[in-house]
Chain A
Amino acid sequence: MTDNHLIYAPAALHKPVRRLPAGMSILLVLVGIAMIFEALGWLLIGQSFLMNSQRLTIMILQVSVIGIIAVGVTQVIITGGIDLSSGSVVAMTAMIAASFAQTSTWARAVYPSLTDLPALVPIGIGIAIGLLAGLINGLLISYTKIPPFIATLGMMVSARGVARWYTNGQPVSGLEKSFTVIGSGIWPVVIFLVVAAIFHIVLRYTRYGKFTYAIGANMQAARVSGINIERHLIKVYAIAGALAGLAGLVTAARAQTAQANMGINYELDAIAATVIGGTSLSGGSGRILGTIIGTAILGVMMSGFTFLRVDSYYQEIVKGVIIVAAVVADVYRQKKRH
């Protein structure tokens, strides 16, 4: 630039904050935490933390479900909203979908004509129920103008109620092999990564993605630019609900049973993974890549503490600190920007 106007413009004084360095720094945090556990492992119990493929597999499996939810939650938070209902939606879809995935071996003694349903039926039903829950969230937020916190808090309580009411609190077990396969082996990780890849592309390269950021950055400006805010928010919450439904399916398949108390606090873990991954709670910024790393950080923490045989209570304490620290970092970044 030859124009010296730019050089002195005070608005241009603060170095622009790029998305990339934020993403890079969170990656460094992940590596740093892993290295700390590695060092402590050698120091305290004489073992390597990272050089254990079994541990790494378990670690990734543990957080895949959170990751699937977090992909939806990230989109919600980018619009400046929040979704507290995902954990309960996990339980509700797990229960209902599992009831369609039960083997008919026992029941056939009474009803000989019964056959097992193909796995696509419970999978379809599960995603549909999640989608419906998200749709209700979105409709409430868009048309009654109540804050997302309240709308999804209501769904959180009600969906949990549905999960308990559905079988009077009884677990649903005896699930078909063709269904439980989606929770076995490496499948949960594959599902997580595929979902993350899809929505990474969607957020970056589609109009839906651009509008999602625009709404979070300035809802009024987005409205004047011709974006139908109501319709768009319904889509975002419906997608988040469907992904929570998918997470419910994976949870039930992995446990080979469904229980009404599944998924408790999953919504908070998903929000934590999103926020640790650099998505700003004030909306308008955030990336799926960050959320993947945020999810990995949660995984490394859980697995690392277990590896060091640290009491699980400490885990929770430290997890809380990490979440707060991530938001503090975000606030600091925002401050530098304005």
Chain B
Amino acid sequence: MTTGQLHAAASHVPLMASDYLLTAENIRKEFPGVVALDGVELKLRPSSVHALMGENGAGKSTLMKIIAGIYKPDGGCIRLKGNEISFQSPLDAIESGISMIHQELNLMDYMSVAENIWIRREPLNRFGFVDHDEMRRMTQDLFRRLKIDLDPDAEVRDLSVANRQIVEIAKAVSYGSDVLIMDEPTSALTEREVDHLFEIIRDLRAHGIGIVYITHKMNELFEIADEFSVFRDGRYISTHAACDVTRDDIIRMMVGRELTQMFPKEEVPIGDVALSVKDLALEGVFHDVNFDLHAGEILGIAGLVGSGRSSLASTLFGVSPATSGTIAINGEKVVIDSPATAMRHEMAFLTEDRKVSGCLLSLSILENLQIAVLQNKYVTNGFVHEKALYSACQEMARKLRVKAPNLQEIIGNLSGGNQQKVLIGRWLLNKPRILILDEPTRGIDVGAKAEIHRLVTELAREGVAIILISSEMPEVLGMSDRILVMHEGRMTGILDRCEATQVKIMELASQ
């Protein structure tokens, strides 16, 4: 039995109310016009990792923000070690021993790692100035304890996203809180860094700390969590020990329906070569990439974060044009020097980061849908064919089952899954022959994920050539005809669907 299972086994026994580290009961939260949480509960044991599962919009983050003092509940009772608490601000929560690592990183780019961690708590020397030597020493102590290998004096803006996440985690730990809330902490981490994070979590757990862990990743749940609670549509569904259930059980609880097939991959006839890449390179980022992509084929690209897979995608689409090598489309050599050129060759590119390079957040669904297709269609003498475009957009939104009252809704108000559907719709309006999808299902709920997988399959059947980049191994394995693996800017191999396994990909991705 591993320690994780031991913990889980112990957690069968209900505790006395006062023995829980943190309890939230009957929590209610309303936002104008909507009930976000209704009768929600959470019981966190000391020395345990409690995962929260649920589709996007289930209310997990809202509950955590209430516990961390960011929102005020409209009803219910929160107790910390048996005492009822009511926070006025996040600072209150931190001082009472509850700290939260948010999904979005909140670090100051132009300050050092040490300054970021000890902000507001800087050690002072006898003149009242910040004692930087002491601060560095404190940071080194903290890093030693957490086995983190980072320079305390490095500026945060020079760090990778993964390392920034590590700094956030170290900062939260440095408060010495009893309760640590982590909201999808691994979304930017590579596998090795995730292992490191889990080591830190296990160590904290061994020291009596209770950890609330929000995640969408099933394998993480089984690896790290002792217990988990499932939320759905703002309601509490149930709590179980992690060792008692299977993956399918959890999915069923989260969506309230059976998902018969996670990956609806179909074998479709593979057509001619649509895209042929030879010795493609972007100086300093990747080099020697060679592959052919056929019509109707889904080519998965796997690799760790930083392996150059996303850069390869943006180079293919002309966002950062290649420095050497050739690209041929339908057998004809082309120079793709801008996204507009790529679009003229019937390519489309769903970018990795919805918020940064996808959504026009302050604009409506309609304006988000139409922006790419306007490049070539629905325009005469500069004037837009509003009616035709509107009905095309409406049909697309209906086809992709975008959940929103109407097309005038601001996209920033939609859930991640629905935003992603709108962005995919933006490209499908162009009727692309080559579709590049970079992390199409990152951070979206199970239901929307399945819908997107079904859509990708359908597009392949219609003969679209698809490149699918994903950090989720099951997704790449489940959806692709072939899988191209990258490691540190090099292509390390292409695997056929029948020979590809998780182990083989990992070998190629980390050789």
Contacts and interface: CB of A to CB of B under 8 A. Distances in A.
- Considering residues A207, A213, A223, which has the most beta carbons from chain B within 10 angstroms of its beta carbon? A207
Interface string A10-44: 11111111100000000000000000000000000
Interface in B167-194: none
Contacts of B319: 223-224
Interface string B28-47: 00011111100000000000
A13 B32 contact: yes
Interface residues of B, number: 55
Interface string B378-408: 0100111010000000000000000111001
Contacts of B33: 13, 15
Nearest to A223: B339
A54 interface: no
Nearest to A214: B371
A282 to B, nearest CB: 8
A115 interface: no
A14 B31 CA distance: 7
B415 interface: yes
A207 B317 contact: no
Contacts of B414: 9, 11-12
Interface string A277-297: 000100011000000000000
Given A210-B371, A227-B375, A218 B384 contact: no
Interface residues of A, number: 42
Contacts of B31: 10, 13-14
A13 B233 contact: no
Contacts of B62: 10
Contacts, number: 155
Contact of A217 (B363, B382, B418): B363
B195 interface: no
Interface in A256-286: 280, 284-285
B427 to A, nearest CB: 9
B36 A6 contact: no
Given A10-B59, A214-B363, A337 B32 contact: no
A228 interface: yes
Contacts of B379: 207
A227 B383 CA distance: 16
Interface stretch (B108-116, B275-283, B295-303, B354-362): B354-362
Contacts of B317: 224
A5 interface: yes
B100 to A, nearest CB: 16
B57 A210 contact: no
Contact of B413 (A12, A206, A224): A12
Interface in B8-45: 31-36
Interface string A183-225: 0000000000000000000000111101101100110111111
B374 A211 contact: yes
Contact of B339 (A1, A205, A225, A338): A225
Given A8-B57, A10-B62, A224-B319, A210 B383 contact: no
A218 B353 CA distance: 12
**Chain A interface secondary structure, helix, strand, loop or mixed?**
helix
A211 B340 CA distance: 14
A280 B31 CA distance: 25
A217 B384 contact: no
Given A17-B410, A217-B360, A8 B403 contact: no
B86 interface: no
B412 interface: yes
Nearest to B355: A218
B361 A218 contact: yes
Contact of B382 (A13, A17, A206): A206
A121 interface: no
Contacts of A210: 367, 370-371, 374, 384
B360 A218 contact: yes
Contacts of B412: 11, 337-338
B390 to A, nearest CB: 12
Contacts of B32: 13-15
B339 A224 contact: yes
Contacts of A18: 408
Given A8-B59, A13-B34, A206-B383, A226 B367 contact: no
Closest 7 CB pairs of A and B: A13-B31, A217-B360, A9-B57, A8-B233, A220-B357, A8-B234, A284-B362
Given A13-B34, A223-B319, 5 more contacts: A14-B32, A15-B32, A217-B362, A227-B340, A337-B413
Interface of A: 1, 3-18, 205-208, 210-211, 213-214, 217-218, 220-228, 280, 284-285, 334, 337-338
24 contacts: A7-B35, A8-B234, A10-B59, A11-B414, A12-B409, A12-B414, A13-B32, A13-B33, A14-B31, A14-B413, A15-B33, A205-B383, A206-B382, A206-B383, A207-B383, A210-B370, A217-B360, A217-B362, A218-B360, A224-B339, A224-B358, A227-B340, A337-B410, A337-B413
